[in-house]
Each structure stands twice: as structure tokens, then as C-alpha cells.
Amino acid sequence: MVKVAMVSDLHFDINKVDPEQALVDQSQWLKTNQIGVYLIAGDLFNHFDRSLSFAERLQKMTPHTVVKFIAGNHDMVNDISYEDLEKPLSATYLHRKHYDVPDTDWRIIGNNGWYDYSFAAVLHRPDDAFWHWKRAYWIDGAIEQPMSDPKRLTQELQVIKTQLQQAQRDHKRVLFMTHFVPRIEYLHITSDDRFWNMANAMLGSVRMGQLLTKYHVKKVLFGHLHIHPAPREFEGTLYYNQSVGYGTARRREWLTATFQSEWLTRVKVINLTNKSE
């Protein structure tokens, strides 16, 4: 049996958290609780270099825990190009890679993910309308990319499909980690032009959930939405959103008083075992 801890959307900089203290606190907790794998599903900082540094330093401080992270949209805003995001930059960076959990038949597959506006289909708008809205109002407008959002998501889905097919051939059960939302059931949708209906377009994709269902993925960790749902099962797949979110004066999403207490509330521990156990 291997204990896996899962969390997302730490937002250290926005939450004004001392990363040095966070490293000490999280490393100690991982050691005390004998965590075998620690997964962070994106949005550590608004700078990729700082996110990567945090993961790598935490790994060095906690050698008996395997630390893996992917990039969320906030991590992508500064210090990283689209081309570099696709590269195997570090052992801790799981995008487009996988990790086989020792002594189990589980494979953890990571992909940053993206979106294709399908969550806002009720608005019946052309892709260009969503693109221009994003450039004007959404933080992702600062993220440069050489293709449209739907094409970017299509490209990632093809990579994921290939990985899932290989996992089936290898007789592996899959825990899939991504940042963006894979199920429309998590969203609030109305038929009018309210702000959140346009924002829904940038939250994820219906196609992601369909792909995960098709290949019988057992567990999915995602983030992006700063909500506090219990794990939910859809079409045989168990989904986890373990976002910490914002604890600022302007946006108070935490249920507790401090970052550390909120992190402890949100980090989810699951046990991965062989089918025979």
C-alpha cells in the first residue's frame, strides 16, 4: 500500500504565504504521515520558476516522498514559454509524463490540460468571441501560445489518449492529474450573458471527461475551481478537487483562519494498493 496526498491551487504568492515556512511545514507533515507520493495539481505561484523551485526543494527536503506537480494557468503567466512548458523540465514536473507507483498496479499520469469553450456552449458564440473576451478580462490573456484554445486542448487530448492506451496495454489502473475542470457538473451555468458564463469557457472541457470515461480512468485529481466538494463519481471515475484557493481580504474562500490550517483541511490522502490486496 502507498499513501498518496493530493492538493491544488496553493497560490502561495497571492495568499502572501512565506514559501520557506510552507516548505518546512509540508515536508514535516509528509514525513510524519509517511506519504509515498505528493501530488500538486497546479497554481502554486504566478511564476513558473518559483513553482518549479518549490517542488524541487520540497523533493530534496523529503526524499522518502515522491513529489510531482503540474502547471496551472497561474503558473504559466510568467517565466515560461509555451514551448518550454511541453518539455520534461524536471523529475518533479509530471506534464505529459507518468509515474508508476511502486508495489502497486497504479500509474499516475499528468497533463496540465487546457480548455475549448465547450462549457459555455449554451451561449452559442463563435470561438473568436471567447478569445477576445479572454484577452480583455481573464488572467490567461497574458499567456502566449501559437494556436487557438480549442486546438491546444485537442493537442493535449491526443497526448493523453496515447498515454491511456499504453496504460491499458500495461494493465495499469490510472490516477490522472490535471489542472483544468474535466466535468461540466461542477459548473454553475445559466442561459444569459452573466460574467461567469463567459468565464466557464476558460475552465475546462467536456471532451476531457469523455476521454477519461472512455478509457476507464479510476481516479482524477483536478483544480482550478476553488470549491470544496466531496469526491464525486461520474461514469465509474472518482473525481477529486482539493483546491486550497484564496484567503485574501478581497476573496475569502477559506473555511479556516490560516493557510496551514486550510492546507491541512484540503489535502486529501488516499491509499493505492494492488488489486490482489
For the chain, the domain total comes to 1
Distance CA 246, CA 254 (A): 7
Distance CA 130, CA 180 (A): 17
Q: Is residue 93 situated within a structural domain?
A: yes
Q: Is the pLDDT of residue 57 over 90?
A: yes
- Check which CATH number belongs to the domain holding 189 and give it: 3.60.21.10
Q: Is the pLDDT of residue 33 over 80?
A: yes
Q: Is residue 146 situated within a structural domain?
A: yes
Q: Is residue 172 situated within a structural domain?
A: yes
Give the pLDDT mean for 199-212: 97
Q: Is residue 236 situated within a structural domain?
A: yes
Q: Is the pLDDT of residue 195 over 90?
A: no
Phi, psi angles (nearest 5°) of residue 209: -60, -40
Task: Output the pTM of the full model.
Answer: 0.97
Q: Is residue 66 situated within a structural domain?
A: yes
Query: What's the domain range around 185?
Result: 2-272
Q: Report residue 190's pLDDT band, with 50, 70 and 90 as the boundaries.
A: confident
Cell of 218: 479510476
pLDDT digits (tens, 9 = 90+) for 67-81: 999 999 999 999 999
Q: Report residue 83's pLDDT band, with 50, 70 and 90 as the boundaries.
A: very high
Q: Is residue 277 situated within a structural domain?
A: no
Q: Report residue 277's pLDDT band, with 50, 70 and 90 as the boundaries.
A: low
Q: Is residue 199 situated within a structural domain?
A: yes
DSSP E strand boundaries for the chain: 2-7, 37-40, 66-69, 97-100, 106-110, 173-177, 219-222, 232-234, 237-241, 268-272
Q: Is residue 134 situated within a structural domain?
A: yes
Give the pLDDT mean for 88-92: 97
The confidence score (pLDDT) of residue 42 equals 98
